[in-house]
Structure 1
Amino acid sequence: MKERNLLYFITALVASILLLISILARTQAWFNINDYGQLAIPTIHYLLIPVALLWVGWYFEVDGLLLSAAVILSIVFGFQLNNWGLLNNDPYIVSRYAPMVKTVYVLGLVLNLGTFVLAFFTYVKSSLSLKQD
């Protein structure tokens, strides 16, 4: 069996966890109330393409797919930062749903940041190792 890049695998795994949290958030009662769900976490179609790019790129060991997924995820991170007011009740959140909405927002923000930083780091590390060989 062929040995693949472990850091690339971890990046794809973290992106998949972010996608799963996005899918699970859609099943919650608060998701469609006042668009809390769309403010709290990126929707599935924003995350599906980068996750697919990461897994295909990991399997075939293509660094270009890693870089393109990292760029897409950094743009999604920028879109998610536009909803920063969610943490200080800028759009008023019903107190019954506030802890869950804010927790999902912070978790999504941290996972998104971690994914694209890890993806850029993996790309730079793999491109430097190719230059040394």
Structure 2
Amino acid sequence: MWAGESPQLPLLLKDGSIGWGIWGQPYQDVAIAAVPKGGWARLESIKDGKWKRFKPLPVKIPATAFMERARDGSEVWFPITDGLVIQGAAIAQPNQLYTAERGKSILRIYVVTQPAIGDVAAVHDRMPRLVPKEKPPVGG
């Protein structure tokens, strides 16, 4: 997974602006016990409480498409319907590097996945969980 890189994911903030967070923890990085390795979080694992110790917060990742790797290794892109975003799980990790930012939190973002449905299921067994960009009104 993204060796030697530090990819970031956009986050939709409550005021409608865009923020940024580090995408997970690359497998090649030095182990950081405070966060899980990888860039994905299974919805079933979150619901089962396996992520509870990390205190994940739900976030929304704006995107127009997502990619899954087919069984033959090829990239297959799927458009995201207007009004939907990718659900993420954010974990705040204390910065332990000796920099001016030491002690401040580093936000690590994990893409929440679910079993694949529809056209995606023909390509891969998992897919990002897509959620409404806006919360529906209470009772709506």
TM-score between the two structures when normalised by the length of structure 2: 0.25
Give the structure with the larger strand fraction. 2
Give the structure with the larger helix fraction. 1
Ranked by relative contact order (alpha carbons within 8 Å, sequence separation 6 or more), the top structure is: 1
TM-score between the two structures when normalised by the length of structure 1: 0.26
